[in-house]
């Protein structure tokens, strides 16, 4: 299920979301590859198999996979952009926080770094009683489109994801790269607090927010996917132009 494509000297690393798989980002990755970019879309540990396997992993495992893919791209490309959906947005932000100028830009689609859902306060106790709860996947407005995420949400892994959120939020000021942030007007998984926290917390001079009116959470498979792909291509081209000017 992972996807890789060799292209030009602009690399793009895509990170899928919690309990999901590369399937949710596959059309996005393929579109970037058709445009000639060098693309990496890894499968995060514990994902794309069974939710019980995800419960045996932590956010550090997920981040280690993303970081490894980033370093492969960094060695072969002049520029690397990071792209994240949902929790993948948190992983992309952490790469931007840690690698500074080695990241040319950040693209986020309904990123998750916080939740106002008070039910999460019970997690430290609940995870010791039951291993999982109902799934959060397949929040898609477009008819007959399936995300292929887990039907259950593993609670130990969920607690670890919240720890990732805390880590990323504490270092948001280190994000100085150009940022393109897509947010669905209606999202049944991630509430608007994440986008507000990110926009207010980063130090980037170039921040563009786009509100998606016709998609739910998994917008990369939804009605607004073509707009996401188009605007991302323009974002990459804009900052690739800056690279060409420097080279000239």
**How do residues 169-187 score in pLDDT, each as one tens digit?**
999 999 999 999 999 999 9
| 87 assigned ligand-binding residue | yes
What is the CATH code of the structural domain delimited by 3-239? 3.40.50.1820
Percent of the chain residues topping a pLDDT of 70: 94
Would residue 205 show up in a list of annotated catalytic residues for this protein?
Answer: no
Q: Of the candidates 38, 37, 96, 36, which has an alpha carbon nearest to the alpha carbon of residue 66?
A: 96
Catalytic residue among 217, 222, 224, 239: 217
User: Domain boundaries in the chain?
Assistant: 3-239
Specify the DSSP element, H or E, that contains 89: helix 87-99
Spatial contact of 136 and 190, defined as CB atoms under 8 Å apart: no
CA 155 to chain centre: 20
Catalytic residue among 21, 132, 187, 224: 187
Would residue 204 show up in a list of annotated catalytic residues for this protein?
Answer: no
Spatial contact of 149 and 126, defined as CB atoms under 8 Å apart: no
Would residue 166 show up in a list of annotated catalytic residues for this protein?
Answer: no
| 18 assigned ligand-binding residue | yes
Catalytic residue among 86, 160, 194, 204: 86
> pLDDT tens across 138-171, in order?
899 999 999 989 999 999 999 999 999 999 999 9
Structure confidence at residue 17 (pLDDT): 97
Q: pTM above the 0.75 mark?
A: yes
Mean pLDDT of the chain: 93
Q: Where are the beta strands (DSSP E) in the chain?
A: 3-5, 10-15, 38-41, 79-85, 105-109, 132-134, 152-154, 179-184, 207-212
Percent of the chain residues topping a pLDDT of 90: 83
């Amino acid at each position: 299920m992972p996807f890789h494509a060799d292209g030009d000297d602009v690399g793009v690393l895509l990170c899928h979301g919690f309990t999901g798989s590369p399937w949710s980002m596959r059309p996005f990755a393929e579109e970037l590859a058709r445009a000639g970019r060098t693309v990496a879309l890894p499968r995060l540990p514990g994902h794309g198999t069974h939710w019980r396997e995800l419960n045996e992993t932590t956010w550090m495992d997920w981040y280690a996979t993303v970081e490894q893919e980033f370093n492969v791209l960094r060695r072969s490309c002049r520029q690397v952009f990071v792209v994240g959906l949902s929790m993948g947005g948190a992983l992309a932000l952490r790469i931007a926080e840690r690698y500074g100028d080695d990241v040319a830009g950040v693209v986020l689609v309904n990123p998750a770094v916080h939740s106002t859902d008070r039910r999460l306060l019970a997690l430290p106790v609940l995870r010791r009683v039951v291993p999982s709860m109902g799934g959060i996947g397949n929040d898609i407005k477009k008819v007959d489109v399936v995300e292929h995420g887990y039907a259950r949400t593993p609670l130990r892994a969920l607690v670890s994801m919240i720890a990732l959120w805390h880590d990323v939020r504490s270092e948001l000021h280190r994000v100085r790269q150009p940022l393109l942030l897509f947010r669905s007007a209606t999202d049944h998984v991630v509430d608007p607090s994440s986008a507000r926290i990110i926009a207010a917390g980063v130090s980037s001079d170039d921040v563009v927010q786009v509100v998606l009116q016709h998609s739910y959470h998994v917008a990369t498979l939804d009605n607004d996917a073509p707009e996401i792909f188009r605007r991302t291509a323009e974002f990459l081209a804009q900052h690739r132009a800056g690279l060409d000017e420097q080279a000239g």
